[in-house]
Amino acid sequence: VIGPGLSERLGQPVVVLNRPGGAATIGMAVVAKSAPDGYTFGAASLAFAANPLFMAGKMPFDTEKDLVPVTQVAKSALAFLVNAQVPARSVKEFIELAKSKPGVLNYGSVGIASSGHLATALFASLSGVKMTHVPYTTGPLPALVANQIQLQLGPIPSSMPFIKAGKLFALGVTSLTPDPSLPGVPTVAESVPGFEVSEWPGIVAPAGTPGSIISRVQQEVVNVLAAPDVRKRLADLGSEPVGSTPEKFGKHIRKELGIWAKVAAEVLANPANR
């Protein structure tokens, strides 16, 4: 979304290289080991803060030492989605259902330490329910529509066609305030106090990258995010622009590391959640 605008403002091409695998650790390892010359940056997200906790001793880099924050680009809430056949029409009713059938209900995600996995594990921890995690490398939405799993905390835009068709119900959103794209849908926090999860894509750089370069890139990202067409594209993706300072983004990452430490310990202790 921001690549073309950055290319224009920086006067040189910004090339996006997708290096999937290992819950984003493979691509981020390339960034961490790159020269700190301002030519290589990484796209961080929620998994960036969770991977060190789930992959203790196996990480190919040190999240806090080998990479430095540049800016948080955006944030977006997830939808609390259930199959239409699930006999629950509120988060409270879903909790009651899950507690009546401990370990029976299944929830899906794109893999261990993904945003959907972490968000649901946090929900289970705070609400006291027990469910079984089913990872899908190609995405859990088809399985949810087919009622092979009963719950997914997933992106709002991709689920909208199924919500409108009556195949899925959105019982809540994971932000602290309602999402305008789902009018009338309450926050999960109204039923589970303290629950809040959002995707927060941001940019990081190899440690040692000069401060002047980090400052320049951060400022240009902010400028790009101010463009009406970019804001519209983010809105269509269910996101809102942020453009934080490196200091604020670093503080946010440290906060996320603290949040997911407890969740990671509980998930690793319970095989059903892995």
CATH at 53: 3.40.190.150
Ranges 43-47, 186-190, 240-244: which has the least confidence:
43-47
- Measured at the CA of 21, the angle between CA 17 and CA 27, to 5 degrees, comes to 40
Number of domains in the chain: 2
Within a domain: residue 271?
Answer: no
**149 and 260 inside one domain:** no
Within a domain: residue 87?
Answer: yes
Q: Residue 182: give its domain's CATH number.
A: 3.40.190.10
- 94-115 burial string, b = 16+ CB within 10 Å, else e? bbebbeeeeeebbbbbbbbbbb
**33 and 139 inside one domain:** no
pLDDT tens digit sequence for 216-227: 999 999 999 999
Residue 206 Ramachandran class (φ > 0 left, ψ -120 to 50 alpha, else beta) = beta
Q: For 8-120, where are the E strands, in sequence order? A: 42-44, 67-72, 74-83, 106-109
What mean pLDDT is predicted for residues 239-246? 96
pLDDT of residue 271: 63
**88 and 181 inside one domain:** yes
What mean pLDDT is predicted for residues 88-96? 98
DSSP for residue 185: P
**37 and 84 inside one domain:** no
DSSP for residue 36: S
Expressed as residue numbers, the domain containing 137 is 76-197
What mean pLDDT is predicted for residues 171-189? 95
pLDDT of residue 153: 97
pLDDT of residue 272: 62
pLDDT tens digit sequence for 29-87: 999 999 999 999 999 888 777 776 666 667 888 888 999 999 999 999 999 999 999 99
Domain boundary among 148, 174, 197: 197
pLDDT of residue 42: 95
pLDDT band at 23 (very low <50, low <70, confident <90, very high): low
**192 and 233 inside one domain:** no
pLDDT band at 113 (very low <50, low <70, confident <90, very high): confident
pLDDT band at 114 (very low <50, low <70, confident <90, very high): confident
**181 and 85 inside one domain:** yes
**129 and 193 inside one domain:** yes
pLDDT band at 257 (very low <50, low <70, confident <90, very high): confident
pLDDT of residue 172: 98
What percentage of the chain reaches a pLDDT higher than 70? 94
Within a domain: residue 15?
Answer: yes
**175 and 187 inside one domain:** yes
* Contact call for residues 81 and 167 (beta carbons, < 8 A): no
**181 and 108 inside one domain:** yes
Domain boundary among 197, 222, 244: 197
**156 and 209 inside one domain:** no
Please tell me whether residue 260 adopts helix, strand or coil conformation: helix
Ranges 11-20, 34-43, 87-96: which has the least confidence:
11-20
Mean residue pLDDT of the chain comes to 91
**97 and 172 inside one domain:** yes
**81 and 69 inside one domain:** no
Within a domain: residue 65?
Answer: yes
Within a domain: residue 241?
Answer: yes
The DSSP element (H or E) to which 168 belongs, if any, is strand 168-173
Within a domain: residue 273?
Answer: no
Q: How many CA atoms lie within 13 A of 243 on its CB side?
A: 17
DSSP for residue 139: -
Domain boundary among 148, 179, 197: 197
Q: How far is CA 132 from the centre of its chain?
A: 20
